[in-house]
Amino acid sequence: MLKLSMSINVLPINLRNKIAAGEVVERPASVVKELIENSMDAGSSRIDIDILKAGKRLIRVSDNGIGMDRQDALLSLERYTTSKIKDEDDLFNIKTMGFRGEALSSIASVSRMRLTTAQRSDARAHGSEETNENNNIGTCIEMAGGGNIELRDCMSIGTSVEIKDLFFNIPARRKFLKSDSTENYHIIDIVTRGAISRYDIGFVLRIDDSETMNLPASSSRRERLLQIFGKDFVDGLMTSESEDEQMGISIFCGNNSNFRNNRNNQFVFINNRPVRDQTISYAVYKAYEGLIPKDKHPVFLIFIEMNPQKVDFNVHPAKREVRFEDKSRVYNFVYQAARAALKNAEEAAYAAGEEASVNHQWTGMSLPAYFAYNHPDAVMCGQQAVSEASPFYDLYSSTESMPCIYLGDTFVAMPDKKGLVLMDYHAAHERINYERLLKGSEEGSGHGSKVASYRLLFPQQVKLQAGEYMIVLENLKYLNELGVEVADFGHGAVIVRSLPDFLRDADLNALISDIAASLLNSDVRLKQEKALESLESIDSKKKTIAAKLACHSSIRGREIPDGVRAAALIKDIEKTENPDACPHGRPTRIFISMAELKKMFKK
């Protein structure tokens, strides 16, 4: 039994620093975030980031900012020392990215750090007492684990911070880091968000001596988004801008057909600070209400400028969240801006003669309300209506078509001689395509894919975010085995030459992006299951891709199957190994026997 001690100990300063580092330094990406924010505040026009072994071996962030003199360089490594704020009033009027003064000290306590800096000549001219004959002579400070400081002169421009052997003195923390792919993905995400927030700064990211991102300083947000996401992505965004006496907003959001399976392409910035806020996200989702399927997510980038006294940035250890003085005002402001952007999308579609694309396209099947109005005796939708007097069993003998009743969403009801079948036709179609992909992949093992494929007449280039690009390149083998012929096109883009036949109409940008997100999640899961080292775990990446391809190719709520397609689905799913569940484990169909029906009706 645990014995409680009443004695209270004063923790040594080194242990205090390590505990504080746990709040600031969650992973290598946290270090990158703090260092590039310091570079932004230093008036830099270019920031270079070098990463080795996912940041575990080296993180180096270099800038051409104003730099520091020797006295400030030494003070910057002390706890709670900062040039950003001086008194309590400044804490509620934050205009810089950093302000707490604990980042460098915390990082230094869990790594081997080298800080090289020289004060820029124009900064010296504004009050610095220290001068040098050579303006490039600066200060170099080296320390390990927050102690043993070594100080010397060195040549430098701006500031460079090198972090080596992160968590070398906290092996338990180092053990909990994820795979290199996952940690690199988080680093790329941090740099991407920083680059989006400050389009006037150039960013260069190199990972393992390979240039991953090279973004020259831009003249506008749109130009920076083109650099990162590509023309196809940006052309699919609608924009809206508005302002009042306290706030201004610029919003880029996807049109009525630009939806994703995940939230990866959602960005919110308050006064150039990337944040997560439920109020803002909920306002955008509310604006899309009635326009977006329940299993989809909108694409949006929101930039809000507001009086810093109306928002508190000091509510989260990593400064990822904010608190607004008037939450409802912010909600309404964002909601109206999002609605305005969507209205622009509708007007643009109408002007282009694409009004029909906004409406549901019923494939040979009318809505129940339509049948009720036009065919009072009809209760079945499909290629032929069934009157109340007609028994289902007479139609069931047909092998080409099957009567079915559309129930809403992706559900249809079909008669069975022994009862009633309720089918989720999207889930059923997923299972069918999933097993076709895996079977074709296995049959073509070592001899190319045997998945029935459609070769694009003109290969299509797909621009990806840097993190997505990297993880797709790592898994080209699995994509090609599943009939998606993809090759590296360079500079953050891939070229798609062929697809499985049932994906010929797919949105390639959304498809490849979703596959990358799924692979990242699969990578995390494999790390957790590493001890198994079984064939199942080795093949799980291929299964992850196959499941995502199957999902993209499967019919959805707005593509209601007619009687012929319903019959084909029933036949095809019976041929699968696991006909009763989709690749994600959801049921494809539910059978209600005649006995159960009689019981429900008290017979």
Q: Note every long-range contact of 525-529, with CB atoms under 8 Å and residues 24 or more positions apart, other chains counting.
A: 526/179, 527/178, 527/179, 527/182
Whole-Å CA distances, 448 to 478, 480, 489, 538:
11, 8, 21, 19
Question: In the structure encoding, which two tokens stand for residue 10, read together?
Answer: 């004063």
CA-CA distance, 170 to 192, in Å (whole number)? 29
Q: Are 541 and 411 in contact (CB under 8 A)?
A: no
Overall residue count recorded for the chain in this entry: 603
Predicted pLDDT at 369: 35
Give the best-scoring range by mean pLDDT among 194-208, 240-254, 314-328, 534-548: 194-208
- Helical ranges in 352-391 per DSSP H: 368-374
Residue 268: predicted pLDDT:
96
Place of tokens 């001890």: 531
Task: Pull the structure tokens for residue 107.
Answer: 């990082």
What is the Cα–Cα distance from 156 to 159, expressed in whole angstroms?
A: 7
Residue 576's alpha-carbon distances to 33, 544, 586, in angstroms, are: 48, 18, 15
CA-based nearest residue to 415, from 391, 431, 432: 391
Q: Of 71-85, 433-447, 556-570, which one has max mean pLDDT?
A: 71-85
Hey, what amino acid is at 376? P
3-state class (DSSP) for residue 179? coil
Q: ∠593-596-599 over CA atoms, to 5°?
A: 150
What is the chain's mean pLDDT, rounded? 79
- Copy the structure tokens of residue 506: 């797919």
Least confident of 75-79, 141-145, 403-407: 403-407
Name which of 144, 158, 155 is nearest 68 in CA terms.
158
- Exposed, middle or buried: residue 556 (CB in 10 Å: 0-12, 13-18, 19+)? middle
Nearest to 455 by CA among 518, 498, 425: 498
Can you spell out the DSSP letters for 51-120?
A: EEGGGTSEEEEEE-S----HHHHHHHTSTT--SS--SHHHHTS--SS--SS-HHHHHHTTSEEEEEEE--
Longest dimension (CA), the chain: 102
Q: What pLDDT is stored for residue 141 in this prediction? A: 95
Mean of pLDDT values over 370-395: 36
Dist. CA 603–CA 597, nearest whole Å: 9
Q: Quick one: pLDDT at residue 43?
A: 92
The 3-state DSSP class for residue 467 equals helix
* pLDDT score, position 204: 97
Average the pLDDT over 281-306 and give the result: 88
Q: 251-285 b/e with 16+ CB inside 10 Å = b?
A: bbbbbbebbbbeebbbbbbbbbbbbebeebbebbb
Average pLDDT of 377-402?
Answer: 42
> Side-chain half-sphere of 548: how many Cα atoms within 13 Å?
27
Ramachandran sector of residue 195 (left: φ over 0; alpha: ψ -120 to 50; beta: rest): alpha
Q: In what order do the strands lie in the sheet with 485-490?
A: 453-463, 493-500, 485-490
- The fraction of the chain above a pLDDT of 70, given in percent, is 77
The full DSSP string for 479-527 is: HHHTT-EEEEEETTEEEEEEEEGGGTT--HHHHHHHHHHHHHHHHHHHH
> Are the C-beta atoms of residues 298 and 259 closer than 8 Å to each other?
yes
CA–CA separation, 584 vs 260, rounded Å? Answer: 17
Q: Which residues of 342-378 are buried (b: 16+ CB within 10 A; e: fewer)?
A: beebbeebeeeeeeeeeeeeeeebbebeebeeeeeeb
CB atoms within 10 A of CB 180: 18
The position carrying tokens 């002007």 is 351
Residue 394 near residue 538, CB atoms below 8 Å: no
Helix (H, G, I), strand (E, B) or coil at 290: coil
Q: Is 139 helix (H, G, I), strand (E, B) or coil?
A: strand
Q: How confident is the model at residue 395 (pLDDT cuts 50, 70, 90)?
A: very low
CB atoms within 10 A of CB 393: 11
pLDDT recorded at residue 312? 86
CA-closest candidate to residue 218, choices 241, 237, 236, 195: 195
State the pLDDT confidence band at 502, using cuts at 50, 70 and 90. confident
Contact criterion met (CB below 8 Å) for 273 and 313: yes
Segment among 83-87, 181-185, 428-432, 533-537 with least mean pLDDT = 533-537
- pTM equals 0.73
Cα separation, 526 vs 541, in Å, equals 9
Secondary structure letter of residue 309 according to DSSP? G
Q: Which residue has the higher pLDDT, 187 or 78?
A: 187
State the average pLDDT over residues 339-355: 66
pLDDT at 321: 83
φ, ψ for residue 216, nearest 5 deg: -65, 155
